Structure 1
Amino acid sequence: MRITVAHEWLTNWAGSECVAEQLVQVSGARRLVAAIVDRTLASDRFPRTSVEALWPSSLPHAQTNWSRYALPMMAAWATTRIEADALLISSHFAAHAAARRFDGPSIVYHHTPSRLLWRPDIELSRLPAMTRRAVRHGVLPPLRAWDRYVAQQATVLLANSSAVARRIEIAHRRTARVVHPPVEVERWQTVEHLEGSHVLWFGRLVGYKRPEIAVEAARMSGLPLVIAGDGPERERLEDTAPPGTRFIGRAPWPVVREAMMRARVLVFPGEEDFGIAPVEALAAGVPVVAAAVGGALDYVHHGENGLLVEVAERSEDQVVAMAAALRQAWDTRWDHAQIRRTAESFSVERFRENIAEVLDDTLGTAWRRERVAT
């Protein structure tokens, strides 16, 4: 059985690319298709897989500025006919449209329905008010109708969290089975947990993750903050962070490991589709203080392995609530062994087992025989 994996674009390495890698490995797929491909990354991460790029990959500066080619990528996925016996799709924008012209069974793993179409506030906030209105009322409705139409073509839909499954139900009017993404739980479970000395932020410094909430909550609670990660918000945060805040950037593993070992609590104030970093913290025995929204609801169990903070309408109120939760978590005596156990169900091995089960249900056992033969 010839299985092909389709993935949005292959220009950097993050959570969705880890999923695509596992889909290739579990299914035994020999072919990966992406709208835009960085050839160096492809050869490094998929040395035994034929990686094919669609036509948007040949557009000027596509590998470094893919966001300007949203419409070409949508068109490419909708018009490309992929030849295979079965198709596995890793989608967070438009790759699920590949099922439209595919004749066999197709399984879509949704990281989220397209944020550009269904949750456009961050992108639209950068535009003038008149342009925002024109996009909302003139451009988005037909694109949403198209997105909903192509989403009906897939045989099976998977979602990476319960929150994403609810978004799929609203946007695409379909039911998706939740299969949590793979997290390197075992790697973090070997990290010794020491007496905590700081609150830890771990992740990219981008607006939707709300790093400014973490900084202001640390200031209000009077707790020391270590920020592991980099991004466009770093310079602004360095200018406004309270004295004593440490920025360690995109540090090598030994430095990040040390920061996690000595973390008393991880702060996670943004809304994520799933959120890998908090699960890594749990695997290391570190409690998580998270906004009660998005993927965090699937793994932060209030009072057991962290605290959930209800989302407030005003940022000022969110800071106050997050600061109070950080102080409460700091003063709580946690069962760190129990916290580690709550992360075990999100391991790479569990993900592989779940995907294999979906393949069995959808394709029968033929895919296993082919995989053994190769």
Structure 2
Amino acid sequence: MPLKYALVHEWLTPKATGGSELVVREILNHIDADLYALIDFESSQKESYLYKRQIGTTFLQKLPLARNGVQKYLPLLPLAIEQLDLREYDIILSSSHAVAKGVITTPDQLHICYCHSPMRYAWDLTFDYLKASRLGYGIAGWLTRYILHSLRQWDVLTANRVDHFIANSKYTASRIWRCYRREATVIYPPVDIEHFPFSTEKEDFYLIVSRLVSYKKVSLIVRAFNELKKELVIIGTGNEMQKIKKLAKPNIKILGWQPDDVVKKYMASAKGFVYAACEDFGIAPVEAQACGTPVIAYGAGGALETVLDIRSSGHKGTGILFKEQTTAALIEAVEAFEAYQGKFDPESARENAVQFSSQAFAQRYFEFIDTCNQNRSSQKGKILKNILRNIE
């Protein structure tokens, strides 16, 4: 009989369209898996690839305001994910950046977790979360700290429910080890390289495509370009929109949300793509390189694995990396970028991006699942033989 697969993701909403959702989509392109999530408001969208798909959800689906994000019900997320009954499946695939890996499985099931990140607000971003939240102060602050403490304990405990971890970068693999003391195999997430137009013709402007939230450090980029007086185009929206509009000088154009065709046009024609966040992987710099556009990026996290600094990589270089998230460091990086202008080869950028293609992901991911399943079957066979030998 064919194996039965379940794929578990955190949440499925029109507002959640990041790298983790691209992984879910790519997995479903190749495997017939039943899909589960804490909430689902995506399958009701006619334009969605999940339209009319049957998706298993939790009690959070019926709670008020869940459509706008279940993060507001943070203390309930562990309880909710543990209510999913997946006993009928042979293999559990989780796509996790919060609680999806915490599903309850049986000893006969194989659980493989593609980890986009250990729960950031419980680990790396705890103090940023507390500082930015109204719940970070006073009595509410102490309660929030206790909830986050409990989440960390649950998060470590449920790492033991996973048979094999996959990390989306070496950086994430190191964080998985630090948080869970578990080894992880690195398989880079899929980037739809073929849908980004390659161009050797560049115009005289720099580009940001990003959610406008604090950890993306877009305001830092704006301050640097205010001083540089170079043209910068910003595409994206978020809760820092008004702050960034107030900061920006006339050389900076803020376009807000734009459809995919507009984003791709700007990516293909920009002289450079600017990225100041520390991400676990970071898909946007790879998409820019797929267009033949070099990248100026903060040299930490996934960017160290996706952007090749021309100062150390020579003709294969695809950008410039800067070492500190400061205005001065970024200004210095832009000036270095300008000095190397004309030496960046668009073909090299495209070639570098191809290693992160959807095809490369699918091949590595499903080969890994197959290997894990074969090893599991072999191990079960050896255990059975030992039992029979002892009986004899």
- Shared fold by TM > 0.5? yes
8 Å Cα contact 1:26-1:355 kept in structure 2: no
- The gaps in structure 1 that reach 5 residues or longer are 313-317, 367-374
- Per chain length, whose mean CA-contact separation is higher, i.e. which structure has more relative contact order (CA < 8 Å, sep 6+)? 1
Hey, what does 2:149 align to over in structure 1? 141
Instruction: Give the drift of 1:236.
Output: 1.4
In structure 2, how many angstroms separate the alpha carbons of the residues matched to 1:87 and 1:172?
Answer: 20
Q: Does 1:309 align with 2:322?
A: yes
Hey, what does 2:314 align to over in structure 1? none
Hey, what does 1:372 align to over in structure 2? none
Hey, what does 1:64 align to over in structure 2? 68
Q: Does 1:183 align with 2:191?
A: yes
Deviation per CA, 1:141-160, whole angstroms, max 9, x where unpaired?
A: 33312211111111110111
In structure 2, how many angstroms separate the alpha carbons of the residues matched to 1:67 and 1:103?
Answer: 32
8 Å Cα contact 2:268-2:288 kept in structure 1: no
Mapping for residues 282-321 of structure 1, pairs under 5 Å: 282-303=289-310, 304-311=317-324, 318-321=326-329
Instruction: Give the drift of 1:26.
Output: 2.4
8 Å Cα contact 1:289-1:329 kept in structure 2: yes
Match 1:112 to one of 99, 112, 117: 117
8 Å Cα contact 1:80-1:101 kept in structure 2: no
Hey, what does 1:92 align to over in structure 2? 97
In structure 2, how many angstroms separate the alpha carbons of the residues matched to 1:102 and 1:25?
Answer: 28
Deviation per CA, 1:304-354, whole angstroms, max 9, x where unpaired?
A: 111111125xxxxx1111011112213312111111111110001111111
8 Å Cα contact 1:10-1:42 kept in structure 2: no
Hey, what does 2:373 align to over in structure 1? 363
8 Å Cα contact 2:292-2:346 kept in structure 1: yes
Instruction: Give the drift of 1:293.
Output: 1.1
Deviation per CA, 1:202-245, whole angstroms, max 9, x where unpaired?
A: 11111110001111111222211000111111121111102121
Instruction: Give the drift of 1:192.
Output: 2.0
Tell me, what secondary structure is at the counterpart of 1:272?
Answer: coil
- What code does the residue aligned with 2:365 have? I
Q: Does 1:276 align with 2:279?
A: no
In structure 2, how many angstroms separate the alpha carbons of the residues matched to 1:28 and 1:238?
Answer: 46
Relative to 1, partners in 2 of residues 1:180 and 1:362: Cα closer, same or farther, differing over 3 Å?
same
In structure 2, how many angstroms separate the alpha carbons of the residues matched to 1:194 and 1:55?
Answer: 52
Runs of 4+ deviating beyond 6 Å = none
Mapping for residues 184-263 of structure 1, pairs under 5 Å: 184-188=192-196, 190-263=197-270
Hey, what does 2:382 align to over in structure 1? none
Tell me, what secondary structure is at the counterpart of 2:281?
Answer: coil
Instruction: Give the drift of 1:365.
Output: 11
Hey, what does 1:335 align to over in structure 2? 345
Relative to 1, partners in 2 of residues 1:132 and 1:270: Cα closer, same or farther, differing over 3 Å?
farther
- What code does the residue aligned with 2:90 have? D
Hey, what does 1:315 align to over in structure 2? none
- What code does the residue aligned with 2:81 have? W
Instruction: Give the drift of 1:137.
Output: 5.9
Tell me, what secondary structure is at the counterpart of 1:286?
Answer: coil
TM-score of the aligned structures, taking structure 2 as reference length: 0.86
Aligned-pair identity in percent equals: 30
TM-score of the aligned structures, taking structure 1 as reference length: 0.90
Cα RMSD, aligned residues only: 2.2
Tell me, what secondary structure is at the counterpart of 1:152?
Answer: helix
Relative to 1, partners in 2 of residues 1:60 and 1:43: Cα closer, same or farther, differing over 3 Å?
farther
- The gaps in structure 2 that reach 5 residues or longer are 311-316, 377-392
8 Å Cα contact 2:278-2:298 kept in structure 1: yes
In structure 1, how many angstroms separate the alpha carbons of the residues matched to 2:333 and 2:267?
Answer: 19
Relative to 1, partners in 2 of residues 1:131 and 1:343: Cα closer, same or farther, differing over 3 Å?
farther
Say which one has the larger Rg. Answer: 2
Instruction: Give the drift of 1:193.
Output: 3.0
Tell me, what secondary structure is at the counterpart of 1:44?
Answer: coil
Relative to 1, partners in 2 of residues 1:194 and 1:246: Cα closer, same or farther, differing over 3 Å?
same
Hey, what does 1:10 align to over in structure 2? 12
Relative to 1, partners in 2 of residues 1:273 and 1:252: Cα closer, same or farther, differing over 3 Å?
same
In structure 1, how many angstroms separate the alpha carbons of the residues matched to 2:19 and 2:260?
Answer: 17
Hey, what does 1:122 align to over in structure 2? 128
Instruction: Give the drift of 1:44.
Output: 3.0
